[in-house]
Amino acid sequence: VISCRAAVAWAPGKPLSVEEVEVAPPKAGEVRIKLVATGICRTDEHLLQGCFPNAEFPVIPGHEGAGTVESIGEGVTSMKPGDKVILLCLPQCGECSFCKNPESNFCQKSHISEPQNLLPDKTSRFSCKGKQIHHFLWISTFAEYTVVPEYTVAKIDAAAPLDKVCLLGCGFSTGYGAAINTAKVKPGSTCAIFGLGGVGLSVVMGCKAAGASRIIAVDINKDKFAKAKELGATDCINPRDFKKPIQEVLTEMTGHGVDYSFEAIGLADTMIAALASCNMSTGVCVMVGELDSGSEISIDPTLLLTGRTWKGTVVGGSWKSREGIPKLVSSYLEKKFNSDLLITHTLPFAKVNEGFELLRAGK
């Protein structure tokens, strides 16, 4: 058993508490990982506010982490102690019907199908002050050590800087992949991205890499515009600068609506605006943002009747996680994109709550 620090959420709506926790050794089919770096993602904020479906407290959040393998359980063959790895919030078990389908990146072992609050044997590897602590999406990266199933880990190139590529575990791969894999953005096309957080900016990078000729970035926070332009946005617009709905503004700017639109916020109103802003015949709208648990959206069916496509993308932007993330790391090392530009602050672990304050402030 290893004693180490972890940021524990004891109850919804409360700040994280950095505690000493005990981390049990890995059982068969499991891996214990020493975390080196983790990103903070809006999904962790959903969890802390009690808006994440089927989560249980107390819990160690975090799902955007990279580290090295500390020890392996019986039967683990795809990695060994010392290997550099990225933890995957979308597993790839390799056995379910989705994993066997070459067109799917979903896995039936994911939290959307069955809760990942405890490891597959329905026990926890974390305890604190004599209490069982729940896992988050099986990976819980807000801990110095974590234990996970083998199929939620991707072994990556030994040359990768872990404090930079941890973002590829969720935020960057989701946004970039939404453009490249889910929408399949074509060269010369027009795109609109709603929301310029880490995921939305990653969509901008994906649209640029795919050869889009016009990339319109939409956000009410003007401080995001300089970074969006640096990453490839051709236009930046603030809905508050207009008296008409933003979908009408985008339609006027492009003549008939954009070819591809992406919602990377997670609000019902912007989901509908994004759908209405892509052209009515061949437009594709991709839902990337995550709505609060229990949310519902009502739309005018004629938005779809004329031919628009509305689709969602789950973590990893349609990459099969264990296969796709290592390839993405290789592309990073080959400088095919610069995800480092998404990093605004680097904080010591003890200041994790300060990180969330920066997130809430849009910084």
CA-to-CA distance for 247 and 257, rounded, in angstroms? 8
pLDDT (average), residues 154-161:
98
pLDDT (average), residues 166-172:
93
Sheet containing 84-87, strands listed edge to edge, beginning at the edge strand earlier in sequence: 145-149, 30-38, 65-72, 84-87, 153-155
Confidence of residue 294 (pLDDT cuts 50, 70, 90): confident
pLDDT of residue 317: 63
Confidence of residue 162 (pLDDT cuts 50, 70, 90): very high
Q: Does residue 189 carry a pLDDT above 90? A: yes
CA-to-CA distance for 339 and 205, rounded, in angstroms? 9
Report how far Cα 287 is from the mean position of its chain's Cα atoms.
13
The answer to whether 71 and 32 have CB atoms below 8 angstroms apart is yes
Cβ-based neighbours of 228, under 8 Å, separated by 6 or more: 193, 196, 201, 204, 217, 219, 236
pLDDT (average), residues 153-167:
97
pLDDT of residue 24: 98
The predicted-structure confidence for 313-325, as pLDDT tens digits, reads as follows: 887 666 889 999 9
% of the chain residues with pLDDT over 90 = 94
pLDDT (average), residues 298-318:
88
Q: Does residue 34 carry a pLDDT above 90? A: yes
The predicted-structure confidence for 194-234, as pLDDT tens digits, reads as follows: 999 999 999 999 999 999 999 999 999 999 999 999 999 99
List of domains in the chain = 2-170+317-354 (3.90.180.10), 173-312 (3.40.50.720)
Q: Nearest-CA neighbor of 261 among 282, 286, 237?
A: 286
pLDDT of residue 290: 86
The predicted-structure confidence for 92-140, as pLDDT tens digits, reads as follows: 999 999 999 998 889 999 998 999 999 999 999 999 999 999 999 999 9
pLDDT (average), residues 22-30:
98
